[in-house]
Amino acid sequence: MAYSEYKMWLQSENAAVPKVDSIIEERILNHWDNIDGSVERGYSGKSLFFKDGNICYDKNRIRDYARYLSSIGINRVCCNNVNVTERSARMIADDLIDDVAALAGIFREFGIRFIIAVDFTSPRLLGGLTTYDPYDEHVIKWWKAAAETVYKHIPDLAGFLVKADSEFRDGPAALGRTQADGANVIANALKKHGGKVYWRCFVYNCVQDWRDTKTDRPKAAYDHFYPLDGSFADNVILQIKHGPSDFQVREPNSPLLGAMEHTSQALEFQVTQEYTGQQVDLYATAVQWQEILDAPVSDSQSMRDLMGNKVKAIVAVANTGLDANWTGHTLAQANLYAFGRMASDPALTAREVLGEWVKLTFGSNPAVYEPVLDMMLRSREVYEMYTSHLGLGWMVNINHHYGPSPEGYEFMKWGTYHRANHEAIGVDRTEAGTGYTAQYHPHLNALYSNIETCPEELLLYFHRLPYSFKLKSGKTVLQHFYDSHFEAVEHVEEFISTWDSLRPHLPECVFSSVADRLLRQLSNAKEWRDVVNTYFYRLTGISDGQGRKIYD
Ligand code: GCV
């Protein structure tokens, strides 16, 4: 729907844009869809929006999608990947802007404002300038002209999303400028149109030498952005991943969230299951989000307390694609639903939102409702048991991030090390070590630095410990690893028998597609069990206390 038509329609009786009364002003979905039709970290088929270098979609399907997103509270959508390619950079140029505007028009009908991911080097890439230096007057003019063009076509565009100085993408730092310099040049161009810059804080050294024990990747976002508090234009929102690493199964909250007093911030989640089972393994993200929101950010406040105050926007990376059921794993639909609902009302619990989804999807027959909800609520813990240990993370196969590889990232450039040897594992991130804990509020610094008070599930995120270290259960770290892996496989087997028992109550296609994924999850859990247990057995030479099978 064109913007002028929309404004008239909004005043008419037919307008049915749902009004969500939320403390979170912007509830944003980011798609990592590429213009060639592929989806970065996508596990649900090809892109809903793009094909072969062009904007190309099924209009009815996009209308269904936009209607659904708006019904769960989403009010901003970005369709193109933050890793902008030469071709998708042209979404703000003359040749693609008409098509982008038409797509934005469909979302507009449902009260959703569009965001476009742009390349920071666009003045050079698209404009033919010799530089993209934010202080260069031609660059400043170029962004202003680009904003004029875009807003002529999409007058209600929410703004531009930017990933700069990150994972081989150029940004202001490459020219000796700050992140604020970079964000502000674009923000100034968008300001008169009412647009914002969503500037991602995923800035870190991605060419680290594993021998370097001083550089500690989790420190990067805070180190880059905290000193700039107060220097961002007021229409810049810093988009901060929930954890300081990268959407791992278990991480502490980012110390940057809530730390800045004078800068707008957005909390970023991942609905797509990059490190959390890739929509093959069952993983209810809502459970993790509830934990994140419950976690303290100071002695008196939790992350939830920041919502609607210092943090006024929530973003998540979408998990949808052209698959008939939208999300690959049918039960992964619940993760998108839960994001919309929790973004609209961060006080909702995982049990509440997942319960809603199960009822809306399968009805309220307790014989179905109870067991499905129970499986979903347990799914995060079970997945963590076989993939991640006391906050370690990263033991995945490189690049695609599925399946076990205990040293996959150990000698790589990405800054992702557990540094396991035959005696100990983990990184000391206290002030005696890398100093990361000092980025937290003093109360949290003390809590995490003390082995006695550090939450056990994060012990190896913050500390380096011998395998013989005794946990609160009385088990050693090593025995905990072994037990978790053996028990996780049993839990997945239980999921399978629970699901099998539901067959008479479910449509056959839903039953069989989920049953098939659960079998794949079982084989994945067994692979993790055997690879990780063998890895630690070979390192330590210590057998399982219960004499179960560990391969040599
Ligand atoms: C879009 C991780 C993912 C990348 C992703 C990046 C980001 O590194 O593996 O695929 O790139 O995060 O958030 O920008």
The per-residue pLDDT for range 438-465, each reduced to its tens digit, is 999 999 999 999 999 999 999 999 999 9
For residue 166, give the ligand 1 atom closest to its CA.
Answer: 14
Pairing state of beta strands 465-466 and 311-317?
unpaired
Whether pLDDT at 19 is above 80: no
Per-residue model confidence (pLDDT) at position 428 = 98
Q: What mean pLDDT comes out for the span 241-268? A: 97
Give residue 353's pLDDT.
98
Residue 181's nearest CA partner among 160, 164, 195 is: 164
pLDDT value at residue 18 = 64
Residue 203 clears pLDDT 90, i.e. is over it: yes
| DSSP state letters, 448-484 | HHSTTTS-GGGHHHH--EETT-B-TTS-BHHHHHHHH
The percentage of the chain sitting over the pLDDT mark of 70, rounded to a whole number, equals: 98
pLDDT tens for 350-401 read: 999 999 999 999 999 999 999 999 999 999 999 999 998 899 999 999 999 9
- Out of 64, 95, 148, 167, the active site residue is 167
Judged against a pLDDT cut of 80, whether residue 6 lies above it is answered with no
278 CA distance to ligand 1 centroid (A)?
14
CA 363, distance to chain mean position in Å, is 30
Residue 17 has pLDDT above 80, yes or no: no
Q: Check if the beta carbon of residue 292 is closer than 8 Å to that of residue 242.
A: yes
Nearest CA to ligand 1 atom 13: 202
Q: For residue 543, give the DSSP letter.
A: P
Ligand 1 centroid, distance to 283 Cα (angstroms): 19
Q: What is the pLDDT of residue 180?
A: 98
- Complete DSSP assignment for 51-119: ETTEE---HHHHHHHHHHHHHTT--EEEEE-SS--TTGGGGGSHHHHHHHHHHHHHHHTTT-EEEEEE-
**Which range is least confidently modeled, 113-122, 223-232, 295-304?**
295-304
Using the predicted structure, report yes or no on whether residue 13 has a pLDDT greater than 80.
Answer: no
Mean pLDDT within 21-46: 98
For residue 276, the CA-to-ligand 1 centroid distance in Å is 14
pLDDT at 11 over 80: no
Concatenating the DSSP letter of every residue in 319-349 gives ---SSTTSSSSGGGHHHHHHHHHHHH-TT--
pLDDT of residue 355: 98
Instruction: With H, G, I as helix, E, B as strand and everything else as coil, classify residue 478.
Output: helix
pLDDT at 5 (0 to 100): 78
Q: Which two tokens stand for residue 426?
A: 């983990």
Taking the centre of ligand 1 as the mean of its atom positions, its distance from the CA of residue 535, in whole angstroms, is 28
pLDDT at position 297 over 80 = yes
pLDDT tens figures, 113-130: 999 999 999 999 999 999
pLDDT at 66 (0 to 100)? 98
| Gyration radius of the chain's alpha carbons | 24
String of DSSP letters for 369-380: HHHHHHHHHHHH
Percent of the chain with pLDDT over 90: 95
pLDDT band at 134 (very low <50, low <70, confident <90, very high): very high
- Across residues 298-322, what is the average pLDDT? 96
Decide if 274 is catalytic. Answer: yes
Give yes or no: 291 in active site.
no
- Range 66-87 average pLDDT: 98
CB 459 within 8 A of CB 467: no
The tokens of 473 are what? Answer: 């259960």
Residue the block writes with tokens 């929530």: 314
Q: Is 248 left (phi over 0), alpha (psi -120 to 50) or beta?
A: beta
CB atoms within 10 A of CB 127: 17
**The pLDDT of residue 226:** 98
Q: List, chain by chain if needed, residues with CB within 6 Å of any ligand 1 atom.
A: 32, 40-41, 82-83, 163, 202, 246, 274
Mean pLDDT throughout 179-207? 98
pLDDT at 16 over 70: no
Residue 15 confidence (pLDDT): 61
Q: Which numbered atom of ligand 1 lies nearest the CA of 163?
A: 14
**pLDDT at residue number 41:** 98
